[in-house]
Structure 1
């Protein structure tokens, strides 16, 4: 039961980490967007889309 209680009540540090994770996720997404864009730079891929 002790372990269950710990899982149910996360520490304050976990909450702060979650907020930071959100900001880090956004930054990672932004960094991934240009990388993904540079990959499908082929004109064939663009012709296939429409």
Structure 2
């Protein structure tokens, strides 16, 4: 990744090949936990009726 300063290296590139100019996004563990706790209204609610 030529635009990054020296020493800023993504180890994921040791195991994969970049074929586009996009960077990798990996959410933090705290964000994943917050998203897991958040549910839209009615999601996972038990209606007591069989499908």
**Shorter chain as normaliser: what TM range?**
0.3 to 0.5
Relative contact order, CA 8 A, sep 6+: which one is greater?
Answer: 2
Structure 1 or 2: larger helix share?
Answer: 1
TM-score (norm 1): 0.32
TM-score (norm 2): 0.32
